[in-house]
């Protein structure tokens, strides 16, 4: 009998504990649900959890007015919003097809039969966005998402070409473009790299909101062994007002020339400067071609080949849309047949800046940029000119530069080469080389 009582009591105890555990589980689930409701969704400076929101992209034919009208806002109010916002961002003309936007709505209320947005957010690119808030008073402002830069190092040994080497290591091809076009364009022919050539780089990767990878930001320093030569490169700002940065070697010699070889990164030479050119379309009459043509798809960025000031950005006759840049008292360049220009007259541009995009405006049989080169007011063939070197570093900056590169060179020298492709790339990330920009 006593044993039976013990068994019954034990059963009751187990039942009570089980009930208690069930209640705890229910309470735990309830707490999790409440916490989820309290979680914030922070984006564009708003807690999106406090709103209902709608994401979309600008469609062909969309305007700011059409988008708001589609979301139950009438034209008198739309006009009022656009007028108030135009000094910050001209929403009437600057919305681009394919760009994303977000509409914020108040939380749903059963009494509200018609939902109307209170905020319009337009993303110009991955980083920059425009907010037009018309909940109470109308406010318009631009912002940039938080950006983080992470410094890394990489090494590579060439077996066939640099692109393959980078791909095998899981590294961005942008590193190849930067080394070939920005750093060593005038000192190494990357089409003729030899097996056994090797490199080291210190570079920064860019992240938006700590999570979105935005690519290689820049190369801080590089070292390349090619044909037995040791070639150092260090980035250094020579003009803080204009934001001009160049690459110099360990002796402070500038590695670039005053002019890039071509105004497009991805294009082919399709027609050279030729004063005796004959064209079938014109009955094989002599039609001098005073430009150098680079064929590329429509929309390919066109770069300024040297620092200078834009003296023309317009459209005229057979030239179509074009930009002309004065670099100094001796040299000027012109870029024809653009689909659109990206700079205005009077604007200062740096070598490599995007000034427009390849198109087919004016007299042209296909998409290309006609690159024209003036020396002392006369059009010449840039490929036959002995182009000047870039300006050397000033004596006042040279001492500062040599001091600046000392620790960077020491770090570069202490990076060991990884000789085989089976070895993994060593990326260094420390607290000292992570930079946040709000």
pLDDT of residue 205: 93
Confidence of residue 84 (pLDDT cuts 50, 70, 90): confident
d(CA 274, CA 282): 16
**Statement: residue 57 has pLDDT above 90:** yes
Domain ranges of the chain: 42-144, 147-257+391-437, 268-384
| pLDDT at site 16 | 46
pLDDT tens profile 199-220: 999 999 999 887 888 889 999 9
How confident is the model at residue 130, as a pLDDT? 93
Q: Model confidence at 17, in pLDDT bands (50, 70, 90)?
A: very low
User: With contact defined as beta carbons under 8 Å apart, do 362 and 320 qualify?
Assistant: yes
Of 21 and 390, the one with more pLDDT: 390
* Homologous superfamily of domain range 268-384: Glucose Permease (Domain IIA) (2.70.70.10)
Six-digit token string for 122: 């337009």
Give the whole-angstrom CA distance, residue 113 versus residue 285.
74
pLDDT score at 431: 40
CA distance linking residue 226 with residue 199, whole number of Å: 9
Per-residue confidence (pLDDT) for residue 333, from 0 to 100: 96
Say what the pLDDT of residue 8 is: 47
147-257+391-437 has which CATH code?
3.10.450.350
Identify the CATH number of the domain defined by range 42-144. 3.10.450.350
- Quick check: do 147-257+391-437 and 268-384 share a fold? no
- pLDDT tens column, 177-204: 888 878 888 788 887 899 999 999 999 9
pLDDT (tens digit, 9 = 90+) per residue, 322-333?
999 999 889 999
The percentage of the chain sitting over the pLDDT mark of 90, rounded to a whole number, equals: 42
**Residue 417: is its pLDDT beyond 60?**
yes
Residue 256 has pLDDT above 90, yes or no: no
Q: How far apart are CA 331 and CA 328, in angstroms?
A: 6
Reported residue count of the chain is 438
User: Residue 355, class by beta-carbon neighbours within 10 Å (0-12 exposed, 13-18 middle, 19+ buried)?
Assistant: buried
Residue 92, pLDDT > 50, answer yes
**Mean pLDDT calculated for residue range 357-382:** 92
How far apart CA 372 and CA 56 sit, in angstroms, is 42
Q: How confident is the model over 241-266, as a mean pLDDT?
A: 86
Tokens 């770090």, residue? 411
Q: pLDDT class for 3, splitting at 50, 70, 90?
A: very low
- Residue 220 has what pLDDT? 96
- Residues 241 and 252: beta-carbon distance below 8 Å: no
At residue 347, what are phi and psi to the nearest 5 degrees? -80, 135
- pLDDT of amino acid 215: 87
pLDDT of 281 over the 90 cut: no
Share the mean pLDDT of the chain.
Answer: 83
More confident residue, 327 or 12: 327
Instruction: Over range 27-47, report the average pLDDT.
Output: 64
Most trustworthy range by pLDDT among 13-22, 147-156, 265-274, 281-290: 147-156
Cα–Cα distance for residue pair 44/86, rounded to 1 Å: 20
pLDDT at position 364 is: 86
Instruction: Measure Cα distances from 379 to 273, 292, 317, 403 in Å.
Output: 10, 11, 19, 43
350 pLDDT more than 50 = yes
Residue 345 near residue 312 (C-beta atoms within 8 A): yes
pLDDT at 112: 60
pLDDT: which is higher, 357 or 39: 357
pLDDT tens digit sequence for 96-144: 889 999 999 988 765 566 789 999 999 988 889 999 999 888 999 999 9
């Amino acid at each position: 009998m006593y044993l039976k009582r013990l068994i019954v009591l034990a059963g009751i105890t187990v039942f009570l504990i089980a009930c208690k555990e069930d209640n705890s589980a229910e309470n735990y689930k309830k707490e999790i649900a409440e916490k989820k409701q309290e979680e914030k969704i922070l984006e564009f400076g708003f807690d999106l959890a406090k709103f209902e929101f709608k994401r979309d992209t600008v469609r062909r034919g969309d305007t700011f007015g059409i988008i708001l009208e589609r979301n139950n806002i009438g034209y008198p109010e739309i006009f009022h919003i656009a007028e108030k916002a135009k000094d910050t961002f001209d929403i009437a003309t600057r919305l681009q097809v394919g760009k994303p936007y977000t509409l914020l709505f108040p939380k749903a209320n059963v009494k509200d039969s018609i939902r109307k947005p209170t905020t319009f957010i337009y993303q110009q690119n991955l980083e920059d966005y425009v907010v037009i808030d018309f909940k109470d008073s109308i406010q318009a402002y631009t912002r940039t998402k938080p950006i983080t830069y992470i410094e890394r190092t990489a090494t590579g040994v060439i077996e066939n070409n640099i692109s393959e080497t980078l791909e095998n290591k899981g590294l961005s091809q942008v590193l190849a473009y930067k080394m070939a076009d920005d750093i060593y364009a005038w000192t190494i022919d990357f089409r003729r790299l030899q097996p056994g050539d090797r490199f080291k780089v210190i570079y920064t990767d860019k992240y938006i909101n700590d999570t979105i990878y935005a690519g290689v930001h820049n190369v801080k320093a590089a070292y390349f062994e090619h044909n037995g030569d040791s070639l150092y490169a260090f980035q250094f700002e020579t003009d803080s007002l204009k934001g001009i940065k160049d690459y110099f070697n360990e002796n402070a010699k500038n590695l670039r020339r005053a002019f890039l070889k071509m105004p497009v990164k991805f294009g082919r030479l399709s027609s050279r400067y030729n004063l005796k050119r004959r064209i079938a379309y014109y009955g094989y009459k002599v039609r001098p071609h005073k430009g150098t043509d680079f064929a590329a798809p429509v929309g390919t960025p066109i770069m300024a080949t040297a620092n200078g000031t834009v003296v023309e950005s317009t459209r005229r006759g057979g030239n179509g849309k074009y930009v002309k840049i004065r670099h100094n008292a001796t040299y000027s360049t012109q870029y024809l047949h653009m689909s659109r220009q990206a700079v205005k007259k009077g604007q200062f541009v740096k070598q490599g800046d995007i000034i427009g995009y390849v198109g087919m405006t004016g007299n042209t049989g296909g998409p290309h940029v006609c690159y024209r080169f003036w020396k002392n007011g006369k059009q010449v063939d840039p490929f036959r000119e002995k182009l000047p070197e870039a300006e050397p570093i000033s004596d006042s900056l040279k001492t500062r530069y040599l001091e600046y590169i000392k620790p960077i060179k020491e770090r570069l020298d202490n990076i060991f080469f990884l000789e085989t492709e089976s070895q993994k790339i060593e990326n260094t990330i420390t607290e000292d080389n992570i930079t946040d920009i709000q």
